[in-house]
């Protein structure tokens, strides 16, 4: 027998109300306050906040490495127990870097990507780099939304070398479907980081983690930094870090989105469809010949 949705879930299913409750508020201030609150380690605060999160967010902590958490923040950025996310065994398959719901995907139309029905944005607006945008023209893209209830760490989709990071301070619009359908160029407005990488076969690979409301920071291991609204710079960071497929790259401190971009010459095809729920390590792109 299917459980009836709670009143909270029914209210949040109303797109207009959902948008008003999660966006028509002082987003930046709320995000800073939530970041501080989530780190409070007092047992009463910790237990109540984690309990409410699990009650309304349908959170599953059964695959976490540890069973006790110091704070809500500690639970958000939890590590998983060994074997909880097996990688697709085919070595030439790009795997999902995170647990996610698949959003827009397909071929980039020139330099234009689909955000939601009737909403589009350009590579140059997203990446802030005309030359990099030109390299990805007519390429492939996929949007992966990480909900607040999901595992918040993200990993390398393929064996690759990360060559640079470009950090963009920005807004903190929600990245759920009601906001994507109402806010033009949302991904280009929000706080984000562009990770420029190259797969071991020489193919460029770009990952863009996009922050959202209540996301207090973005941790990137390749530059050993936690990026957040108070970070003073520099915003262009050189790095030379090799990652194996499935290796952890960092984490969000709340749900958000990762955009994955590949150039036209990448001979791949999507292995997923819009609306599909994924776990890290499952097939994302397969060779076009398969």
Condensed to tens digits (0 to 9), the pLDDT of residues 79-135 reads 999 999 999 999 999 999 999 999 999 999 999 999 887 789 999 999 999 999 999
What average pLDDT does the segment 25-53 reach?
76
Residue 84 lies in a domain: no
Residue 85 lies in a domain: no
Residue of higher predicted confidence among 197 and 6: 197
d(CA 57, CA 228): 24
Residue after which a domain boundary falls, among 76, 110, 129: 76
- Same domain flag for 164 and 65: no
Residue of higher predicted confidence among 252 and 232: 252
Domain housing 163: 94-287
- Contact between residue 132 and residue 171 where contact means Cβ atoms under 8 Å apart: no
pLDDT surpassing 80 at residue 34: no
Up-side HSE of residue 222: CA atoms within 13 Å toward CB?
27
Residue 116 lies in a domain: yes
Catalytic site residue from 140, 155, 228, 254: 155
- Same domain flag for 66 and 172: no
- The answer to whether 99 is a known catalytic residue is yes
Question: Residue 8 has what pLDDT?
Answer: 45
List phi, psi (to 5°) of 12: -70, -20
- Same domain flag for 47 and 179: no
- Rounded to two decimals, what is the model's pTM? 0.86
- Same domain flag for 230 and 203: yes
Percent of the chain scored above 70 by pLDDT?
84
- Same domain flag for 226 and 279: yes
Question: Residue 203 has what pLDDT?
Answer: 95
Please give the C-alpha separations between residue 58 and each of 41, 88, 102, in angstroms, as whole numbers. Answer: 22, 26, 19
- Contact between residue 269 and residue 286 where contact means Cβ atoms under 8 Å apart: yes
Residue 271 lies in a domain: yes
- Same domain flag for 56 and 98: no
What average pLDDT does the segment 261-272 reach?
95
Residue after which a domain boundary falls, among 16, 44, 76: 76
Domain count, the chain: 2
Mean of per-residue pLDDT scores for the chain: 86
pLDDT surpassing 60 at residue 6: no
- pLDDT-derived band at 11 (thresholds 50, 70, 90) equals very low
- The answer to whether 235 is a known catalytic residue is no
- Same domain flag for 198 and 107: yes
d(CA 266, CA 288): 9
Question: Residue 97 has what pLDDT?
Answer: 97
Q: What is the CATH number of the domain that holds 248?
A: 2.70.70
Residues 56-78: tens digit of each pLDDT: 777 889 999 998 999 988 988 99
Catalytic site residue from 88, 99, 111, 171: 99
- pLDDT-derived band at 262 (thresholds 50, 70, 90) equals very high
- Same domain flag for 164 and 68: no
List the structure tokens of 144: 């992966």
- pLDDT-derived band at 290 (thresholds 50, 70, 90) equals low
- pLDDT-derived band at 27 (thresholds 50, 70, 90) equals low
The two beta strands, 236-243 and 119-122, are unpaired
Residue 120 lies in a domain: yes
Catalytic site residue from 38, 96, 196, 256: 256
Up-side HSE of residue 189: CA atoms within 13 Å toward CB?
17
- Same domain flag for 64 and 118: no
- Same domain flag for 146 and 240: yes
- Same domain flag for 195 and 260: yes
- pLDDT-derived band at 215 (thresholds 50, 70, 90) equals low
- Same domain flag for 70 and 158: no
Residue 137 lies in a domain: yes
Residue of higher predicted confidence among 160 and 233: 160
Residue 127 lies in a domain: yes
Residue 81 lies in a domain: no
- The answer to whether 256 is a known catalytic residue is yes
């Amino acid at each position: 027998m299917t459980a009836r949705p709670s009143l909270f879930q029914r209210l949040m299913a109303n797109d207009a109300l959902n948008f008003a409750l999660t966006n028509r508020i002082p987003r930046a201030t709320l995000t800073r306050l939530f970041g501080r609150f989530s780190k409070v380690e007092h047992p009463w605060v910790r237990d109540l906040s984690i309990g409410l999160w699990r009650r309304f967010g349908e959170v599953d902590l059964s695959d976490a490495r540890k069973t006790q958490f110091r704070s809500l923040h500690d639970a958000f950025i939890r590590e998983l127990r060994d074997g909880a996310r097996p990688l697709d065994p085919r070595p030439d398959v790009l795997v999902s870097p995170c647990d996610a719901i698949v959003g827009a995907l397909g071929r980039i139309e020139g330099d234009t990507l689909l955000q939601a029905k009737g909403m589009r944005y350009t590579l140059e607006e997203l990446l802030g780099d005309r030359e990099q945008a030109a390299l990805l023209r007519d390429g492939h893209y996929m949007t992966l939304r990480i909900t607040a209830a999901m595992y918040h760490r993200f990993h390398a989709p393929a064996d690759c070398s990360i060559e640079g990071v470009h950090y963009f301070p920005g807004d903190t619009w929600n990245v759920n479907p009601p906001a994507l359908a109402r806010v033009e160029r949302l991904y280009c407005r929000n706080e984000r980081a562009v990770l420029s990488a190259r797969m071991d076969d020489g193919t460029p690979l770009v990952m863009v983690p996009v922050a959202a409301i209540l996301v207090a920071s973005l941790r990137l291991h390749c530059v050993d930094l936690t990026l957040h609204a108070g970070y003073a710079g520099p915003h262009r960071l050189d790095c030379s870090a090799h990652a194996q497929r499935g290796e952890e790259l960092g984490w969000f401190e709340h749900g958000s989105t990762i955009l994955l971009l590949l150039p036209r010459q990448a001979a791949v095809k999507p292995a997923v469809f819009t609306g599909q729920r994924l776990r890290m390590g499952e097939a994302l792109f397969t060779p076009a010949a398969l």
